[in-house]
Amino acid sequence: MNIAIFVSGNGSNLQALMEAAAEDTLGGGKIVLVVSDKSEAFALERAKKAGLRTFVSETDPSLPREENDKAILSRLKEDKVDLVVLAGFMRILSDLFVDEYKGRILNIHPSLLPSFKGVHGIKDAFDQGVKATGVTVHFVERELDSGPIILQSPVFIEEDDTLETLEEKIHKEEHKIYPEAVRLFVCGKLKAAGNKVRILK
């Protein structure tokens, strides 16, 4: 199964996924392309270092979303991409894109959804004073940070945690569960029915 990973920034999740692929723990899934909407994303350096092909699609704000996505879609077609894995990709995908890859787009979010949606999931949970937050991997649907939940992992907030230590704990957890979620998808172990995802044994 051919996988494209979408990034915009640091790329630590991309790194975890590339390492899993190298260790052959992605169930045979192959990362064939790394897509970024930011040419300066550090994630692109990581991809190139690992010898992966990259594709940059800077957002043109004067164009509607689907026009921005068309170039990516045709590149995905060229590379015969089966699965899209969003790993810190900050551009909101158009309905056109989501419909084209329906059921084949995964995202990771740094909170226990549906709590703390949006771009500041870690800080919002920290500021709210919750005792537990965590990480969610879910299928992507048209509505942001929604879609059937595949895996979640809790992260506890201790009294001596700072925003920085919490971020570290969250990222560590992400790097564990994202490769596992991708492996489950690649192995055909995920069965979505409505809101619920069953994980087959």
Residues that bind ligand GRF (CB under 6 A): 7, 9-14, 43, 87-88, 108-110, 174
Least distance in angstroms from the C-beta of 14 to ligand GRF: 6
Least distance in angstroms from the C-beta of 198 to ligand GRF: 24
Q: Catalytic residues, which ones?
A: 109
| Alpha carbon distances (Å) from 60 to 68, 71, 84, 87, 91 | 7, 12, 21, 21, 11
Q: For residue 38, give the DSSP letter.
A: -
Instruction: Give whichever of 29 and 110 is closer to ligand GRF, judged by the CB atom.
Output: 110
Question: 123 and 163 in contact (C-beta within 8 Å)?
Answer: yes
Best CA proximity match to 136, nearest among 180, 81, 82: 180
d(CA 16, CA 26): 11
Least distance in angstroms from the C-beta of 155 to ligand GRF: 12
Instruction: Give whichever of 70 and 142 is closer to ligand GRF, judged by the CB atom.
Output: 142
DSSP states of 61-94? TTS-HHHHHHHHHHHHHHTT--EEEESS--SPPP
Instruction: Give whichever of 34 and 190 is closer to ligand GRF, judged by the CB atom.
Output: 34
